[in-house]
Amino acid sequence: MLKNPSSYFRSQALYQLNIKNCTIYTYNLTDLYVKFDAQYFILSVVLLCIEVLIALFIHDDIIRPYIGDVLVVMLIYCFLRTFFTFPVIETVIFVFAFSVAIEFCQYLNMIEKVGLEKSKLAKIILGNSFSWIDIICYTSGILIIVVAEKINEK
């Protein structure tokens, strides 16, 4: 038995995510390329600018609540792809899970529980109310990403 299993994994550059003894993903860290991608960086900057403009200047019933949620998953995806070359499917799964986790935090009123209820920035970034429609918007954004990546492959 290893006294310090994490040192073994670090020395082998191998990490695993185990849930109830089932290996979900195994990555050899030497295969995970960290690489700057200017195209995704430009897309990230453009999407961030659009999101900021929506947050500051648009207060309607369609673009801000729905289009903003579709675009935010695209922004997170493009930001990750700016620096990492993870496979598309794994990246979109992570982005979707992250987005749903944020939405779940809204359901639990986490902004109030951590004392940020007076922070306008926290409310803009994290949101302040749970909605199933937001999850549908995140799903739509993820589907658009998958389709765009398939088209880009060709």
Give the range among 13-22, 60-69, 120-129 with minimum mean pLDDT.
Answer: 13-22
- Return the structure tokens found at 126: 């994290």
Q: CA neighbours within 13 Å on the CB side: how many for 111?
A: 19
Residues 6, 63: one domain? no
3-state helix/strand/coil string of 90-123: HHHHHHHHHHHHHHHHHHCCHHHHCCCCCCHHHH
Q: pTM for this one?
A: 0.76
Residues 142, 91: one domain? yes
Residues 54, 121: one domain? yes
Residues 15, 60: one domain? no
pLDDT tens across 12-39, in order? 444 444 444 554 555 555 555 688 999 9
Structural domain count, the chain: 2
Residues 50, 63: one domain? yes
Element (H, E) at 66: none
pLDDT tens across 86-113, in order? 999 999 999 999 999 999 999 999 988 9
- Containing structural domain, residue 24: 1-32
